[in-house]
Amino acid sequence: MRVAGWHGTTLVDFPSRVASILFFSGCNLRCPFCHNPGLVLPERIDPDASEEFEVILERLKARQGFITGVVLTGGEPLMQPELPAAIRAIRELGFAVKLDTNGTWPGPLAAILPWVDYVALDLKSAPARYPEATGGRAGFEDVARSLDVLRAGPVPWEVRTTVVPGLVGLEDLRALLPHVAGVPLYALQPFVSRDTLDPEYAGRSAVPAASVREMADLLAPVVARVIIRSN
């Protein structure tokens, strides 16, 4: 298995831990606002920039005593058939593991859940807008199943939504309320105008802070905790 990239130290991507990040290429979605097209589009993926997992594992060994966790992100890590073995190898070094997922792989998520310590699941928009939000690649059904998997499991988890102008508004959050009741943490993230999969989204301005606050207030009564993440 090859790792598309890695970041040695993060203080913000794994709650309460100093961690490293492993990036995996390949994704089953084509979200127009995605800011990692180099990990998603086959023609943009640079095979020369990737490294074998065993090389990354040696780097992680060298960071024992400094980091305490490893974040697996992408792309979509659950597309990697060797991911369960990689997670076990990371855990054997004494590191906790956090998984970032788009939620469309409920079966693989359930299979690896006993081996991870934290999960962050992205909710793109209202259920009815999932085809639009994922570039025509997904509906909401599998995401709903993944939410059920996380609710049934013992692992701490969160959901997060990037507040994309024109794609995520107050009514979209309202449509999600029945599906996120009891979620332990809901994080709203501002959209950042930069290299996006669909160039049309690169020039869009962020949703005003007051509107994001209104969304947080809407979510607050039904989730355990809601936060607004800054960049």
Q: What is residue 46's predicted lDDT score, i.e. its pLDDT?
A: 79
Q: What is residue 49's predicted lDDT score, i.e. its pLDDT?
A: 78
Q: What is residue 48's predicted lDDT score, i.e. its pLDDT?
A: 76
Distance of alpha carbon 58 from alpha carbon 79, whole angstroms: 23
Q: What is the pLDDT of residues 35-72, one digit of tens each?
A: 888 888 877 777 777 899 999 999 999 999 999 999 99
Other CB atoms within 10 Å distance of the CB of residue 149: 20
Q: What is residue 231's predicted lDDT score, i.e. its pLDDT?
A: 64
Distance of alpha carbon 135 from alpha carbon 197, whole angstroms: 10
| Domain boundaries of the chain, sorted by first residue | 2-228
Q: What is residue 171's predicted lDDT score, i.e. its pLDDT?
A: 98
Helix (H, G, I), strand (E, B) or coil at 21: strand
Helix (H, G, I), strand (E, B) or coil at 98: strand
Residues 27 and 80: beta-carbon distance below 8 Å: no
| pTM confidence score | 0.96
Q: Please list, in sequence order, all residues whose beta carbon lies within 8 angstroms of the beta carbon of residue 127, skipping any fewer than 6 positions away.
A: 139, 140, 144, 175, 176, 179
Q: What is residue 43's predicted lDDT score, i.e. its pLDDT?
A: 77
Q: What is residue 41's predicted lDDT score, i.e. its pLDDT?
A: 82
| Ranges in the chain, pLDDT < 70 | 231
- For residue 74, give Cα distances in angstroms to 11, 24, 39, 94, 190: 18, 5, 7, 22, 19
- For residue 84, give Cα distances in angstroms to 16, 112, 217: 24, 6, 38
What CATH class has 2-228?
alpha beta
